[in-house]
Chain A
Amino acid sequence: MRRRLLSQKFLLVLFTLSLATIAGISGCGETYPESLEYPVRDDPVVLKSDEITKMIELPTYPDPLGVLPVQKAAGFTNERLQDYWDKQITLAEFYKQGILIDSTRIGSKYRRQIEFLLNKHFGTPAHPKVDLRGIKELSKAEISEVNSKLKLGNQQLAEGSRLYRLHCLHCHGLSGNGRGTTAQWVNPHPRDYRLGWFKFISSDNDKGVNKPLREDLMRTLRDGVEGTSMPSFRLLDEEELDALVSYVIHLSIRGQAENLMMSEGFTYNAKSKSFRPVSGLDIKTDLPFYIGDVTKSWLKAQDFPIQPVTYPYPTLAQATAAEKDSKEREEFKKSVDNGHRIFIKSCGACHEDYGRKAKYKVDLWGTMTKPADLTQGIYRGGSRPVDIYYRIHSGIFPSGMAPVEATTKLKLPGQEKEQDIAIRNDKHMWDVVNFVRVLPYRGMLRKLVPEIHEQIYGPGK
C-alpha cells in the first residue's frame, strides 16, 4: 500500500507553523489607524463632587477594584449604588442636584456639532493638531505662543501620539480620560486630563494660574509618581518625553473644552428627565470660546512659575553632620520645631495625626482620595525640598488640599504671646518643609527633637 508522500497531518503541521511564523514576524503598526477618531465622551461629567459629601456618608475605604464609581454610575442599578454608598441614592438625585451630567443623554444633534468642531480644531489620534484659527478669543501673538511655549506643532504631536499609544494608552485612555483598560484595576486611578486639573504643579496660584508648567509634566514622566502605578519613563530620550508632554497638553485642552461645553451648556430637567440646552446655547460660538479660554489659561501659567523664597537655614546634610550643640544643629532644630507648630495649626485638620488617621474625601474627578500619610516618606509630587514647598504653596486643588494661608496666629518659642506669623512666601514655609522631611525618620527625629518624637510616635523606640 503506497502512502501519499505529503499526508494531511503533515500539511496541517506545516501550515500552522508557517502561519505562526508570519504572524510573529509581521507585528503591528505603531501609529493609530488613520480612520480612528476621538469619540465624543459618553461617561458622566462630574460637576460638584464636593456636594456628594452632603448627600451621603462617605465610605472609609478607597474605590473598590474594578469600579470607577462615577464612570459606572450610568450602569449602576440602584441596588449597587446602595451597596457602595451605603444609602439609597438614585442617579436622578445626582442629576437633580447638578452633581452629574449624563453625556449620552445630551441630544444627538448637539453631540454631532461638538464632535465636528472638536475634530476640526484637534484632528484625529493619528493626526493630532491644535488648530486655533477662527478662535476670536486668541490674538495672533497668543496663537504663535502656543507653538513656542507649549510646543503644540503638528510634527511633535504626531510623534507624541505614537509614543502615547505605545506607553500610555492602556491606562490613560484614547482621549486621555484615565479610563484605559488597566485603569479600573489601579488605585489611585490614572489621571483624567479632561478636567484640566493636574495635581503636582509649580505654577503660582497667587498670580491666578492653575495649570502645570511643561517642566512639571516632564518631572512626572522622568521620576514617575511614587506611591501610585505611574512608573518613571526616564529611559526615553528628552525629545520623546517632550513629544509626550505636548500630546498630553493637546488631550487636556481638547478634553477640557468638551467638558466645559457639556457642563455649562446643558441642565437637567426633572419633569422630562432629560438634559436640555441652556437658553442661548450656540455650540458654534460657545465651543470655540471655551477652547480659547482653556488655551489662554495654559499659556498664562507658563509665565508664572512659583519662585521659592531663599532657604535661610543650614541644610539637612549640614545639620546631621554637625556636632550636637553646634550652631547648625540648633538652627535646624529650631526650624523643625517651628515647622511642627505651624503644621499642627495649619495642616493638622486634614492630615489628622500627621496623616495616619486622615479621612477619605471625594476629589474633583469623583473618585476617593485622602490626605497623605506624612509619616511614610512617600511624596507623590517629588521628594525634593522644593517639591514639598510647591505643594504647600499651591495646595492640590483637585484633591481638596488648600494652599497654605498667608498668615496664622501662633505663639512660637521665644515669643511672649500669640501673634500673626507670616507663612506664605516667607521663610516659615521652609520650617514646615524641614519638619515634613524629617517626620518619617524616627531616628533623626529622636536625635534632633526628642520631645516632638515622643509626641508623634510615643515613648520608647
Chain B
Amino acid sequence: MGKWWSLLFAVVMTACLLLFVVAPFVTGWWLPEGVSEHADEIDTLFYWILGATGFFFILTEVVLIWFMFKYSADNAQNTAESTSTEPTVPFFLKPFATFLNSQHRVEMAWTIVPGLILFYIAVAQIETWADVKYQSRAPQLIKDKPPVQIAVSARQFEWRIRYPSPSRYKNWRDNYKDEAIIADFNSFKDHPHADDIRDVNELHVIKGRPVLVQLTTRDVLHSFNIPVMRVKQDALPGKLIPVWFTPNKHNTKKKDGDWLDGYDPGEKSFGHDRYIWEVACAELCGWGHYRMLARVYVHENEASFLEWLEHTHQENNATQRK
C-alpha cells in the first residue's frame, strides 16, 4: 500500500476536525441555544464528552497516520528483516517506555484509563438523567403554579394535542390541595373529557412553568424531540410516557388576533427564525417522517396562555359558521 494513502486519511480526518472547529460559528450547524431549565446541564455533559472523545480522536488518528506513513510497505527498510530484538519505540512514546515496558502493561493502560473516564461520565450524568427521566421527579400540582399538562398523541404524520379546558385547568390551579382535584389531574392522561381542547401540531406552554407532556402514539414508533428544549423521548405503541421540561424564554405574542411565534423578546419583533422552535419526530416512522413537525409556542405568562386557551376552547365548541 502506497504511503500516500496516509495522505488521503490525513486530509479526510483533518477536514472532519475542521468541521467541528468551524461548526459552532456557522448558523444552524451547531446546537441551537438551549431554552429550557435543564439545557445547561445537558450541554455541559455534551462538552465534557466532546472534549474527552475529541482528545482521543486526535491522539489515535495522529498515531495512525504517522504509523501509516512511516511503516508503509513502500519503505524498503520496513520490508527487510529486522535484526534487532528491541522494540522500536517512536519518539513521542519514549517518556512512557520505562513504565509500560511490556505488551501486557500497554494493553492494561489503554483499557483502564478510558474505563475510568467512562466510569466518571456514567456517574456524573446520573443527576441530570434523574431530573429529566425519573418519574418521581415529574412536576406535581403545587400552589399557584400547576404544571401545564398536555396529552400528546403522535400519529403518522402529525402531533395530535389535547389540552385541559380552561375551567379544568383553573380547577387544578385553584384547588391544588383538594384530593378530588389531584385525582382529576392525575386522570387527565388516560381519561379524556368531552370538554378537553383538541388541537394539532401546536404546543402552547408558559415560560418558567413546568410542562408535563403525556406522550402516546396511535400507530407506530415516533419520538418526541424538541432540540431547543433538549427533550427527546421515544413514543412506544401501547405505552404512556411522561415527559417534562421548563422553558425559560418565550417566543409567542398575540398579533392581530392571532398568536404568532418567531417573536424575539429582546428585539420585540416577529419573524425571527431563531425563535421558531420545532418538535421534530426523531424516530423513522414512514414516508412522512421528515415533515412530522409541530411548533412550540411559549407564552410569556399564564394570562397570555389562558387567553389562547379560552379562544381555542371557544373555537373547538363553535356552533356557528365563523
Task: Name A's B-contacting residues (CB within 8 A).
Answer: 3, 5, 7, 10, 13, 170, 182, 202, 223-224, 226, 229, 231-232, 234-235, 305-308, 310-311, 315-317, 320-321, 377, 383-386, 389, 430, 437-438, 440-441, 443-444
Contacts and interface: CB of A to CB of B under 8 A. Distances in A.
A242 B194 CA distance: 32
A308 B195 contact: no
B319 A231 contact: no
B191 A231 contact: no
Given A3-B74, A10-B8, A232-B200, A441 B192 contact: yes
B277 to A, nearest CB: 13
A440 B320 contact: no
B301 interface: no
A384 B316 contact: yes
A323 to B, nearest CB: 14
A237 B319 CA distance: 26
Chain B contact residues: helix, strand, loop or mixed: loop
Top 3 A-B residue pairs of the complex, sorted by shortest distance between their CB atoms = A311-B319, A232-B200, A231-B158
Contacts of B2: 3, 5, 7, 10
B321 A305 contact: yes
Tell me which of A229, A231, A321 has the highest count of chain B C-beta atoms within 10 A of its own C-beta: A231
Contacts of A7: 2
B287 A308 contact: no
Interface string B309-322: 00001011111110
A238 B140 CA distance: 39
Contacts of A182: 287
Nearest to A444: B194
A232 B158 contact: yes
Nearest to B167: A321
B80 to A, nearest CB: 15
Contacts of A170: 287
B251 to A, nearest CB: 16
A13 B292 CA distance: 36
A7 B7 CA distance: 13
Given A3-B74, A182-B287, A232-B201, A389 B319 contact: yes
Nearest to B191: A443
B194 A441 contact: yes
Given A235-B201, A308-B321, A444-B193, 16 more contacts: A3-B74, A223-B200, A224-B158, A231-B288, A232-B201, A234-B201, A234-B202, A235-B293, A235-B295, A308-B319, A308-B320, A311-B320, A320-B195, A321-B167, A386-B319, A386-B320
Nearest to A384: B318
Given A307-B321, A317-B165, A438 B156 contact: no
Nearest to A226: B160
Contact of A202 (B167, B294, B321): B321
Given A202-B321, A441-B193, A443-B191, A234 B200 contact: yes
